[in-house]
Copies of this chain bind each other. A is one copy, B any other.
Amino acid sequence: MLETEHAIYVGSFDPMTLGHEDVVRRGARIFKRLSVGIGINPDKEPLFSSQQRLELMQEILGDLDNVTVHCFTGLAVDFVQEQNAAVMLRGVRTLSDIESEFTMTLANRTLAPDIETIFLMANEQYSHISSSLIKQIAKMGRGTAASKLKQFVPQQVIAPLLAKYS
């Protein structure tokens, strides 16, 4: 029996951004339980290990009682079903974002018709934040990278992120 009050939010979170954090906090207000799934792609070399991402997210989201963080491999819909959740929560920032989200949602409906996908629109101040932009700032921002990154990632991410490029 799927739990409709239980939503799943998946991503690679490599690294987690202020935009991701905002979606989790807003989702946690709407649903009784929110499980975050960190997708592990065995073919890609991540910047942060899955263990490191898990610990960072758990620290950043530690004040939210109804949120748990997990790692998973395989398809997102399989993870949602293993968690007995009925709802996938997605954050969308731009129109090209939502176009690929729509395509993925159609595929997921074919794979798992019982799972409902729900979209939250990014807050304006986060709509331009992407993990690739953050890596670019960390790498090329030179002496001012730390102060720049404050507007893009949670405070806890800055030091480990800069350490990757020093």
Contacts and interface: CB of A to CB of B under 8 A. Distances in A.
Contacts of A92: 119
A128 B100 contact: no
Contact of A124 (B78, B86, B124): B124
Contacts of A137: 75, 111
- Copies of the chain in the assembly: 6
Contact of A128 (B87, B106, B129): B106
B118 A106 contact: no
Contacts of A121: 102, 105, 117, 119
A4 interface: yes
A119 B152 CA distance: 25
Contact of A100 (B43, B74, B96): B96
